[in-house]
Amino acid sequence: MAENGLEQTARALVAPGKGILAADESDGTIKKRFDAIQVESTEESRRAYRELLFTTAGMEEHISGVILYDETIRQSSADGTPFPELLESKGVIPGIKVDKGAKPLALAEGETITEGLDALRERLAEYRDLGARFAKWRATYSIGEEFPTEYCIWTNAHALARYAALCEEAGLVPIVEPEVLQDGTHSIEESAKATGRVLQAVYTELHDQRIEYRGTLLKPNMVLSGYSASSRAGVDEVADATLEVLYKHVPAAVPGIVFLSGGQTDEDATVHLNAMNALGPHPWELSFSYGRALQAAALKAWRGEEANVQAAQDAFAHRARMNGLARSGEYSPDLEKEFAAV
């Protein structure tokens, strides 16, 4: 079967050794991250920080695409080059977050629905004109005694599929992100059950709404023990549990699965990805679409100071390289020590 344009873009985003940088933090989220390093979050400080990431030498060796925020896709580097154009010049594909965030789900206390479908067709057309070639929409689900409910699961699945259909119509690759939050005390078995239920609903809706899987990517959580669980599963158990859920629920026609890092440490996110790829090959490329797990070290090194830009870029480049190695199961924790010694 011949590849269409969407499939070509999707496959480029999960090219060997590469993954996606999520630089699509909302104003509230980036403010929290800047507050942690005592930097005021202004349009200019956000622009300067994103430029730091995007101009890192060699970042394109391990970063295939960047998810931008509405503000960021309209910004430019210090020399006036629009960010989408800057990324394209490095062979990096620009993308855009298009959802409007998770809001309380009516008549379902404690659960959320992601909003943003209103006027999405028009927004997608504008983003494509601005240079975007793929998009992202995130839905969230909590694990608890009664969560996630069928109501929450299917309502969000329907919205994810409507978003995906509009993206494919607009010529943008939809990244479908159903995130089962790993906060709490749940076991890895409970995480696997919730994740499987969510993915089953998502792919039922995607199928019913005529989505061409080959032109999409999935951005799921890994199957983990709750972050506050008294006993937490090890690396091999996480890899096995995550793969079992994916094999049961994700069609082989999907070109790639780009994991989110969630609340994992930088190294945990890399170690888990590496363990899954070491068990390959798999029907889909297993890659990454990390935000904090790619940026935390760079933010800490930068601290808003021009003199620290190179150190911040070095830290970002290192994390990108580590995750690039994890794409083929070639990562080793010893490589972290080598960087620390530099």
- Tell whether the model's pLDDT for residue 3 goes beyond 70: no
Q: Give the residue among 312, 310, 315 at the shortest CA–CA distance from 302.
A: 312
Find the helix or strand (DSSP H, E) in which 165 lies.
helix 150-170
- Tell whether the model's pLDDT for residue 157 goes beyond 60: yes
CATH number at residue 67: 3.20.20.70
155-176 mean pLDDT: 98
Strand partners, 290: 21
* Helices 266-278 & 309-326 angle (0-180, nearest 10): 20
224-243 mean pLDDT: 96
Residue 100, classed as helix, strand or coil, is coil
Mean residue pLDDT of the chain comes to 96
122-149 mean pLDDT: 97
For residue 114, give the DSSP letter.
Answer: E
For residue 69, give the DSSP letter.
Answer: P
The predicted pLDDT at position 2 comes to 43
User: 162 with 117: CB under 8 angstroms?
Assistant: yes
The predicted pLDDT at position 338 comes to 74
Q: How confident is the model at residue 341 (pLDDT cuts 50, 70, 90)?
A: low
List, by residue number, the catalytic residues: 177, 219
The predicted pLDDT at position 192 comes to 98
For the chain, what is the domain count?
A: 1
174-188 mean pLDDT: 97
% residues pLDDT > 70 (the chain):
98
Q: Give the residue among 87, 204, 215, 118 at the shortest CA–CA distance from 153.
A: 204
Find the helix or strand (DSSP H, E) in which 258 lies.
strand 256-259
Question: What's this model's pTM, rounded to 2 decimal places?
Answer: 0.97
- Tell whether the model's pLDDT for residue 150 goes beyond 60: yes
Give me the domain span that covers residue 28: 5-341
Which parts of 78-211 are beta strand (E)?
93-97, 102-104, 112-114, 134-141, 173-180
Q: How confident is the model at residue 95 (pLDDT cuts 50, 70, 90)?
A: very high
The predicted pLDDT at position 337 comes to 81
